[in-house]
């Protein structure tokens, strides 16, 4: 088989295109493939698909293709232009590359696979043998392509959460599809306006399809959800992990306060026990369990706060909101009559939003998917040492977590 026939086949070229010449540069470790078309051929206008004769050609351009063995492979061609009566002079669509691209379709598809596998632009560069800017350009194009192709769909169960972009309270807000574990919208900030901007990225039919929304107790997100989702008061579910985090933090506040008093009296029983109170008993080692049991028998305030925190877990095991409400009211009466101020504050906070806490019994959703996605985003961010540009950060999130159709056709 001749080299020209070989490259015609692996490039998938059909008439009127053919490989006119193949040149091997051993010193440059490069294969140059020259593609031409036959005389007197007609081409389609890219806007209306009308068949037209060739008007003229652009200057010779080149596209990076998949390597041939260890050699970089470069395609060379002059792109025909047609003169359409309706749309004027236009470059035709090429079968091996998208408009304005410097890479073949095969190379872009491979590059996207590498970017997804390495999860860093820098890591992809070393494998692909291209620059950071070229890799990032492929990533950006893939996201733009995916967003253009994205179609409206049902989003029955969504979550809304914040993600730190950089330090000093620099955040982005994200909306997740909890069923498919994808990021559906992203905006700057973490206030009501940011949440509104996220909801604006959803179509009317998508917003109408929402049956439940998981979130923390952010007043800004509650306000935005009520303004964008019909009957939101019945659909909001305050995330149980967020509530338990508040309770755990309250236990730690009780511990710190009590430890300070005990140390002043020369008592170090709580020294080095922080992790014991922050964890569930099922996560303790045998040695840690022994230390916990000893601290528990001392009947300290920290132990009582921990017991109320553990008791609160049972709020989410009930079958109906009514049963969960009855359980909480009993728990609330017990806590509110103690001297455990941090725990009392948590109890009051839950009571204010109780309807949207016990709604878990109806909808059965949490923001665990959001937390999992946040961990993935943080891992991507750490691998590149952080993103200095907020738009680049959002683009990377959509590339790796957006569930988009990234590949060129």
Query: What gap in Å lies between CA 79 and CA 61, rounded to an integer?
Result: 8
Beta-strand (E) ranges in 216-334? 236-238
pLDDT tens per residue across span 109-155: 999 999 999 888 888 998 999 999 999 999 999 999 999 999 999 99
Report DSSP letters for 31-66, one per residue: EEEEEEE-TT-EEE-TTT--EEE--EEEEEEEEEEE
pLDDT tens per residue across span 207-224: 999 999 999 999 999 999
Rg of the Cα atoms in the chain: 30
| Residue of 183, 146, 114 lying closest to 374 (CA atoms) | 183
Upper half-sphere CA count for residue 355 (Cβ side, 13 Å): 6
Query: What gap in Å lies between CA 253 and CA 343, rounded to an integer?
Result: 9
Which of the residue ranges 2-16, 230-244, 367-381 would you say has the lowest mean pLDDT? 367-381
Query: What gap in Å lies between CA 276 and CA 370, rounded to an integer?
Result: 27
| Residue of 115, 122, 29 lying closest to 67 (CA atoms) | 29
**Mean pLDDT score, 283-290:** 75
pLDDT tens per residue across span 255-274: 999 889 888 888 888 888 88
**Mean pLDDT score, 301-306:** 89
Band (pLDDT 50/70/90 cuts) for residue 15 is confident
Query: What gap in Å lies between CA 371 and CA 316, rounded to an integer?
Result: 19
How would you class 209 by CB atoms within 10 Å of its CB: exposed for 0-12, middle for 13-18, buried for 19 or more?
middle
Give the residue extent of every domain in the chain: 1-96, 240-363
**Mean pLDDT score, 59-69:** 94
Instruction: Tell me the helix, strand and coil percentages in the chain, rounded to 5.
Output: 50, 20, 30
Tell me what pLDDT residue 1 has: 43
Q: Does position 293 have pLDDT exceeding 90, yes or no?
A: no
Q: Does position 305 have pLDDT exceeding 80, yes or no?
A: yes
Q: Does position 108 have pLDDT exceeding 50, yes or no?
A: yes
How far is residue 306 from each of residues 18, 85, 166, 219, 289, measured CA to CA in Å?
76, 79, 33, 27, 14
Q: Does position 204 have pLDDT exceeding 90, yes or no?
A: yes
Enter the DSSP assignment of 349.
H
How would you class 235 by CB atoms within 10 Å of its CB: exposed for 0-12, middle for 13-18, buried for 19 or more?
buried
Which of the residue ranges 8-17, 56-65, 181-190 would you say has the lowest mean pLDDT? 8-17
Enter the DSSP assignment of 93.
P
3 state DSSP class of 185: strand
Band (pLDDT 50/70/90 cuts) for residue 278 is confident
The residue to which tokens 């035709």 are assigned: 92
Give yes or no for a contact between 407 and 383, defined as CB atoms under 8 angstroms apart.
no
pLDDT tens per residue across span 307-328: 899 999 999 999 999 999 999 9
How would you class 50 by CB atoms within 10 Å of its CB: exposed for 0-12, middle for 13-18, buried for 19 or more?
middle
Share the mean pLDDT of the chain: 91
How far is residue 320 from each of residues 78, 232, 328, 368, measured CA to CA in Å?
69, 19, 12, 21
Task: Dihedral sign for Cα 277, 282, 285, 288, please.
Answer: positive
How would you class 143 by CB atoms within 10 Å of its CB: exposed for 0-12, middle for 13-18, buried for 19 or more?
buried
Q: Does position 166 have pLDDT exceeding 80, yes or no?
A: no
Query: What gap in Å lies between CA 306 and CA 303, rounded to an integer?
Result: 5
Q: To 5 degrees, how large is the angle CA 212–CA 378–CA 241?
A: 40
**Mean pLDDT score, 246-259:** 93
Q: Which residues contact 36 (CB under 8 A, 6 or more apart)?
A: 17, 18, 20, 77, 78
Tell me what pLDDT residue 384 has: 59
How much is the pTM? Answer: 0.83
Give yes or no for a contact between 398 and 404, defined as CB atoms under 8 angstroms apart.
yes
Tell me what pLDDT residue 269 has: 80
Query: What gap in Å lies between CA 251 and CA 297, rounded to an integer?
Result: 17
**Mean pLDDT score, 32-56:** 94
Band (pLDDT 50/70/90 cuts) for residue 391 is confident
Tell me what pLDDT residue 169 has: 61
Give yes or no for a contact between 364 and 107, defined as CB atoms under 8 angstroms apart.
no
Q: Does position 383 have pLDDT exceeding 90, yes or no?
A: no
Give the distance, in angstroms, between the CA of residue 85 and the centroid of all CA atoms in the same chain: 45
């Amino acid at each position: 088989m001749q080299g020209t026939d070989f490259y015609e086949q692996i490039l998938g070229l059909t008439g009127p295109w053919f490989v006119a010449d193949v040149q091997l540069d051993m010193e440059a470790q490069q294969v140059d493939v020259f593609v031409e078309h036959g005389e007197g051929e007609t081409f389609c206008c890219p806007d209306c698909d009308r068949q037209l004769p060739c008007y003229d050609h652009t200057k010779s351009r080149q596209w990076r293709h998949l390597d041939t063995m260890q050699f970089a492979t470069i395609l060379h061609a002059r792109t025909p232009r047609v003169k359409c009566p309706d749309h004027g002079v236009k470059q035709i669509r090429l079968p091996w590359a998208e408009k304005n691209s410097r890479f073949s379709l095969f190379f872009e598809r491979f590059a996207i696979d590498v970017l997804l596998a390495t999860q860093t632009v820098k890591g992809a560069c070393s494998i692909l043998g291209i620059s950071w800017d070229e890799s990032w350009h492929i990533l950006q194009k893939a996201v733009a392509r995916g967003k253009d192709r994205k179609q409206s769909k049902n989003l029955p169960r969504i979550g809304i959460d914040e993600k730190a972009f950089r330090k000093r309270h620099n955040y982005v807000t994200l909306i997740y599809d909890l069923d498919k574990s994808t990021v559906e919208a992203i905006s700057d900030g973490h206030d009501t306006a940011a949440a509104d901007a996220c909801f604006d990225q959803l179509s009317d039919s998508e917003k109408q399809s929402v049956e439940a929304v998981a979130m923390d107790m952010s007043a800004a997100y509650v306000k935005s959800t009520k303004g964008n989702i019909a009957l939101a008061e019945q659909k909001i579910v305050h995330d149980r992990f967020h509530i338990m985090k508040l309770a755990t933090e309250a236990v730690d506040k009780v511990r710190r306060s009590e430890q300070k008093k005990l140390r002043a009296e020369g008592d170090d029983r709580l020294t080095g026990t922080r992790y014991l109170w922050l964890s569930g008993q099922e996560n303790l080692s045998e040695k840690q369990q022994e230390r916990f049991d000893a601290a528990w028998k001392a009947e300290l305030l920290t132990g009582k706060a921990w017991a109320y925190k553990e008791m609160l877990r049972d709020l989410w095991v009930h079958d109906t909101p009514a049963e969960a409400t009855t359980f909480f009211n009993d728990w609330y009466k017990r806590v509110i009559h103690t001297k455990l101020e941090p725990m009392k504050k948590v109890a009051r906070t839950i009571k204010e939003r109780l309807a949207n806490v016990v709604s878990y019994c109806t909808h059965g959703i949490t923001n665990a998917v959001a937390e999992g996605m946040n961990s993935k985003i943080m891992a991507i961010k750490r691998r590149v040492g952080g993103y200095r540009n907020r738009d680049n950060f959002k683009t990377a999130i959509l590339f790796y977590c957006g569930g988009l159709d990234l590949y060129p056709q």
